[in-house]
Amino acid sequence: MTIAYISHPDCLLHQMGEGHPEKPNRLNAIEDQLIASGIFDLLQHHQAPLATVRQLERVHDSKYIEEVLSFEHKNKSAYLDPDTMITPQTPKAALRSAGALILATDLVLKGKIRQAYCNVRPPGHHALPSQAMGFCFFNNVAVGAAHAIAEYGIKRIAIIDFDVHHGNGTETMFTHEPRVMLCSTFQHPFYPFSGASSGNEHIINTPLSAGTSGDKYRETILSVWLPALHKFKPELIFFSAGFDAHQEDHMSMLNLTDKDYSWITREILLIADKYAEGRVVSTLEGGYHLPSLARSVLNHLRILMRIE
Ligand SMILES: [Zn+2]
């Protein structure tokens, strides 16, 4: 079964300087792996559109959007937070990343395809309503979820955030929105040092200590996430798909393997099949060790495509 694959060359233009881990080659490494595996030709390819200001305003403040976009016409770069540099090329890349989620949501909710994956950067899940943070400018997955609510009246959306960092931006945006359930696993204590003492009935935070391996990780998903998801019965599922909890990725101290990413994708796909007519939109968040990132995305897509 094919899935939509949404990306855009503009996503490669944003660069935060020599040696920064959130680099354009992340997307190239993933694409190379998909090509080498033979899967690339089986995907339904789409170019990401630019998100509109109106679509961003569902989750971001107008003044902040204006500030980010203004850099397109400035001849300089600036640090919006200590890890996050904006350049004149950033606004276009950030608009394509958020726009990919709009297109993915449209394709899936119009019934044109069951699943979509967005191979985009900059990532989004740390972006707050009026603040860039942790390599993120616009909260792509939140823009997609808000679009599904506003345009299609979806009443129950689950966001599955398995990035190694807490999805603090997404939590902030939906903490008072019971139509969105956020399930976030993350190393704790660890950047951004939030999530352990927040959450509510529809924000399911599952902090994990450094050194956690796949067995303990799976146990947590089975005992915390899956019961919550079965109770919630999502009509649409998003993945904030970060692969930086991989044991080969030295960004963190969790020890997941390729197989763990396949496992969680399969478990969530079962939920999607049961309650959401299989509707899944996945978008790239973190993942900085290129070989393990590329293999893990390949496995994630293989499961979504039901190849194994
Ligand atoms: Zn991360």
- The model's pLDDT over 124-161, given as tens digits with 9 standing for 90+, comes to 999 999 999 999 999 999 999 999 999 999 999 999 99
The rounded distance, in Å, linking the Cα atoms of 35 and 29 is 10
Number of neighbours of residue 209 by Cβ within 10 angstroms: 12
pLDDT at 204: 98
pLDDT bracket for residue 237 (50, 70, 90) = very high
State in Å: Cα 192 to ligand 1 middle. Answer: 10
pLDDT in tens, 68-91: 999 999 999 999 999 999 999 999
State in Å: Cα 218 to ligand 1 middle. Answer: 19
Just list the catalytic residues. Answer: 126
State in Å: Cα 36 to ligand 1 middle. Answer: 26
CATH number at residue 229: 3.40.800.20
pLDDT at 103: 99
- Does the pLDDT at position 171 exceed 80? yes
State in Å: Cα 220 to ligand 1 middle. Answer: 19
- Does the pLDDT at position 187 exceed 80? yes
pLDDT in tens, 273-303: 999 999 999 999 999 999 999 999 999 999 9
| Residue 113 backbone zone (phi > 0: left; psi -120 to 50: alpha; other: beta) | beta
Residue 212: DSSP 8-state: -
Q: Under a CB-based contact definition with an 8 Å cutoff, are residues 237 and 115 in contact?
A: no
pLDDT at 308: 72
Tokens 């903490």 identify what position? 175
Q: If you write DSSP's letter for every residue of 45-96 in order, what string do you get?
A: EEEPPPPPHHHHTTTS-HHHHHHHHHGGG-S--EEEETTEEE-TTHHHHHHH
State in Å: Cα 255 to ligand 1 middle. Answer: 14
The rounded distance, in Å, linking the Cα atoms of 226 and 211 is 23
* Number of independent structural domains in the chain: 1
State in Å: Cα 296 to ligand 1 middle. Answer: 14
Tabulate helix, strand, coil % of the chain (nearest 5): 40, 20, 40
Phi and psi angles of residue 259, each rounded to the nearest 5 degrees, phi first? -65, -30
Residues 109-124: b if buried by 16+ CB within 10 A, e if exposed: beeebbbbbbbbbbbb
pLDDT bracket for residue 51 (50, 70, 90) = very high
Q: Exposed, middle or buried: residue 228 (CB in 10 Å: 0-12, 13-18, 19+)?
A: middle
- Does the pLDDT at position 181 exceed 90? yes
Mean pLDDT of the chain: 98
Q: Under a CB-based contact definition with an 8 Å cutoff, are residues 185 and 161 in contact?
A: yes
pLDDT in tens, 5-48: 999 999 999 999 999 999 999 999 999 999 999 999 999 999 99
Bridge partners, 180 (sequence order): 157
Residue 238: DSSP 8-state: E
**Containing structural domain, residue 12:** 4-304
pLDDT at 91: 98
State in Å: Cα 108 to ligand 1 middle. Answer: 26
State in Å: Cα 165 to ligand 1 middle. Answer: 4
Q: Under a CB-based contact definition with an 8 Å cutoff, are residues 119 and 31 in contact?
A: yes
Q: Under a CB-based contact definition with an 8 Å cutoff, are residues 225 and 183 in contact?
A: yes
State in Å: Cα 112 to ligand 1 middle. Answer: 31
Q: Is the peptide bond before 178 cis (omega within 30 degrees of 0)?
A: no
pLDDT at 297: 98
Q: What is the mean pLDDT of residues 252-278?
A: 98
